[in-house]
Structure 1
Amino acid sequence: MPTSEASHFMMLLEILLAVVLGAIIYLFLTKKKEDKLSMGDGWWGKGQKPDSEEDAAIYPFKVETSDGEINYLHRRLDEVRFAEPLEDSRFRYGFNSNYLRKVVAYWRNEFNWKKQVEVLNKFPQFKTKIEGIDVHFLHVKPSHVPEGQSAKPLLMVHGWPGSVYEFYKIIPLLMDPGSHGLSGEHVFEIICPSIPGYGFSEAPHKQGFDSVCAARVFYKLMLRLGFQEFYTQGGDWGSLISTNLAQIAPSHVKGVHLNMATVTTLHFKQLLSITLGRYFPGLFGFEDVDVQRMFPFKTKVLYRILGEGGYFHLHSTKPDTAGCGLNDSPVGLAAYILEKFSTWTNHAFRDLEDGGLEKKFTLDDLLTNVMIYWVSGCIVSSMRFYKENIGKGIGTQKHEKLSVQVPTGIASFPHEVMHMPQSWLQQKYANIVSFSYMTRGGHFAAFEEPELLAADILQFVGKVEKGNFAKKLGYGLL
């Protein structure tokens, strides 16, 4: 090759190498930047955002009721018009109205809302204004912290159709685990906010309030309470909000524990596992339990999604239409909400005359959750949360494409609406330090199996704390 041609070739090669190297550096730096979700800001109050600083005061709150509210509810229950169910339909067509008659009779004649209000008020509750709306939350501190320990702040986030009441049985277990037969190595200070638009938190007045916005609001809440580092836990929407919080503030979230974790996109290997995972589980990182819970895939996943997903499509498209009727009818509201507490607790409960509701819950507990929706009038705004999150398309949002780097614990309950194996979740949660196959329980874990969930949270935090201690020890020796 002539010298001029060789020189020209070397120059082109150098340019090519420079371009490739530049692209690699660019992708590397871009990836580093993308590891954290932009926090952003928002205003969800009525009208324009004022120029003045937002009032950051925190003030006590108590649930209150009146004789007028109870009398109105009783009148509406007296005027109910029932539909006749199909013979032997049980809960396969939805909430069976024969059993609904029993629920309504109990609600009208035996359920004591004033007594349940006292139960709700047994934990300290507060409100504070964040981004223009009042945010309601429980803040429960342990009465006694063993010597040498400090209470660890734990943010617990509910989902739909739940409320902060889901956590009332697990809170004492986490504040004083040693007295409840659990490991006393860690104790917690619990913060349970109501998602804006749910329960006693004010509903956003503007469009666009999604899970990232909720995570940002709760992050601001934790900072306002003085917590620079904290753990977070959730299922259902609480799982996504906790995930987003870990993406927004990874240096502040010490660990995220989820009792429902999902991914919205699957890589080729995961897609292939749908077909071949039953026959070659080890090739796809499946345990025997994964195979048992996922296959046959058509029956246990595909048909389940189709059979249980009608509400999801409705909420994600026209929440206000159905919501108006539910907001007006206490019996319609109860049927709509309690049907989920039947099927999502155990799909097999569809084949029972009473939907299996009283196998896991009391009517007092179930109706207390329904009453939170009724007295606050929040069913429409709670349903809108689906449209805000799903209306832009599944898999299209930035947070869905970012991994979670903070330590993650996952409690996989056998009767969850859909099972996600660890091998699928690892593409989203890059630092899973604990993945537990729970022995029993369904979607409403804290409400249904508080002891099991508390024990798993405790062992997860133990692993994270030991890992952090080992890191500090290692750094100290360097």
Structure 2
Amino acid sequence: MTPRLNVHFIHVKPPNLPAGQKAIPLLMVHGWPGSFYEFYGIIPLLTEPGKHGLDPNFTFEVICPSIPGYGFSEAPHKKGLDAIAAGRIFYKLMLRLGFSEFYLHGGDWGSLITTTMSQMKPESVKGLHLNVVFLGKGGFKVLISLILGRYLPWLVGMTREDVKLIYPYFEKNVYAVLRESGYLHIQATKPDTVGSSLNDSPAGLAAYILEKFSTWTNPDYRALEDGGLDRKYSLDDLLTNVMIYWVSGSITSSMRFCKENLSHESRFGLVARTPVYVPTGIAAFPHELMHNPKIWVKERHKNIVNYNYMPRGGHFAAFEEPELLARDIQNFVSKVEKNAK
């Protein structure tokens, strides 16, 4: 018998859709250490855009699931639930909700999950919108563009914005990743060890999670006494996200998802190397952990419709800058729909 998992999701339909207009189905997937709650601020902008000064012609029906093992979605009972498995689960969810075609948005692990869905079921995915891009191995082209890009960006397809976000390379990429990736090594190898500690201490859990909402929002916040947490978020919103992990006891199972995707037996490399052909939109936020220029992204995403440099914001785009992200999603879908016609 096929094992079943109870999957939690929120499903918001437009409350006042004009006669004759159809809502556009949009699946939005979170990452770690976020949750479905990251999308609470952006959902009204997408489901009632006219009420919030956005284009009412692009009104969405939004579905936000919790990744299995996160929050109120049941944790897997055996090994092997990685981004590919999560993508299959969410595809079945969309079919059961009555959607044979839909748009996708993802950040963090949500980016990887929605990308795998686009690879597996391109006939169902009308468009893929991301604020984080996972690339495969850099290769010779990336190396050459890194060497020449600082002084001759136009020669290797880089823009001035790319140069500003990438260089000095070691400071903004190598050292930045070393500073921020300690958690990744732990969770990819021994998630249960640290998970047991965090499940036993609400203060410890809050510290572990909120530190990411500080440094991943803006690396400059690292130097502030309070981590700059209230510059982009309310404490109520931050603690709500922490409480979703605390009341569900899901921090350990959420970290196991990292191990499943990054262990030596994982399929992460295969996913990262496989081309994506569905229409793709990229929102490049300036304080994202690593910046990937369009010229690099095109090596994998073969049908880029939109690539926008966002004026502000970091890793938790929907949580930090819901209006900026909502407008970019609308702009992307507008172009895809126009091209389809």
Q: Give TM-score scaled by structure 1 length.
A: 0.70
Select which of 436, 450, 457 maps to 2:329. Answer: 457
Tell me if the contact between 1:259 and 1:412 (Cα under 8 Å) persists in the aligned partners: yes
Tell me if the contact between 1:270 and 1:284 (Cα under 8 Å) persists in the aligned partners: no
Q: Which amino acid aligns with 1:190?
A: V
Cα–Cα, structure 1 residues 259 and 204, in superposed 2: closer, same or farther, change >3 Å? same
- What is the alpha-carbon root mean square deviation over aligned residues? 1.2
**1:303 Cα deviation (Å)?**
0.3
Tell me if the contact between 2:261 and 2:267 (Cα under 8 Å) persists in the aligned partners: no
2:82 maps to 210
2:73 maps to 201
**1:384 Cα deviation (Å)?**
0.5
| Match status 1:438 vs 2:289 | no
SS in 1 for 2:198: helix
1:173 maps to 45
Q: Which amino acid aligns with 1:254?
A: K
* Equivalence map 1:41-190=2 (5 Å): 49=1, 131-190=3-62
**1:264 Cα deviation (Å)?**
2.6
Q: Which has the larger radius of gyration?
A: 1
**1:376 Cα deviation (Å)?**
0.2
Select which of 319, 332, 337 maps to 2:204. Answer: 332
1:397 maps to 269
1:406-443 per-position Cα deviation (integer Å, ceiling 9, x unaligned): 00000000111111111111111000000010000011
1:46-101 per-position Cα deviation (integer Å, ceiling 9, x unaligned): xxx36xxxxxxxxxxxxxxxxxxxxxxxxxxxxxxxxxxxxxxxxxxxxxxxxxxx
- Whole-Å Cα distance in 2 between the matches of residues 336 and 327 of structure 1? 11
Unaligned runs of 5+ in 1: 1-48, 51-130, 470-478
Q: Which amino acid aligns with 1:457?
A: I
Structure of greater relative contact order (alpha carbons < 8 Å, 6+ residues apart): 2
Question: Deviation above 4 Å: which 4+ runs of structure 1?
Answer: 393-396
- Whole-Å Cα distance in 2 between the matches of residues 186 and 431 of structure 1? 21
1:375-397 per-position Cα deviation (integer Å, ceiling 9, x unaligned): 00000000011110000278863
Unaligned runs of 5+ in 2: none
- Whole-Å Cα distance in 2 between the matches of residues 348 and 183 of structure 1? 34
| Match status 1:373 vs 2:242 | no
Tell me if the contact between 1:169 and 1:450 (Cα under 8 Å) persists in the aligned partners: yes
Cα–Cα, structure 1 residues 281 and 394, in superposed 2: closer, same or farther, change >3 Å? farther
Cα–Cα, structure 1 residues 394 and 287, in superposed 2: closer, same or farther, change >3 Å? farther
1:153-193 per-position Cα deviation (integer Å, ceiling 9, x unaligned): 10000000000000001000000111101111210001000
Q: Which amino acid aligns with 1:286?
A: M
Select which of 345, 352, 355 maps to 2:227. Answer: 355
- Whole-Å Cα distance in 2 between the matches of residues 161 and 140 of structure 1? 23
1:190-232 per-position Cα deviation (integer Å, ceiling 9, x unaligned): 1000000000000001011100000000000000111000001
- Whole-Å Cα distance in 2 between the matches of residues 366 and 190 of structure 1? 22
Select which of 178, 183, 196 maps to 1:306. Answer: 178
- Whole-Å Cα distance in 1 between the matches of residues 264 and 124 of structure 2? 29
Q: Which amino acid aligns with 1:433?
A: V
- Whole-Å Cα distance in 2 between the matches of residues 210 and 177 of structure 1? 34
**1:262 Cα deviation (Å)?**
2.2
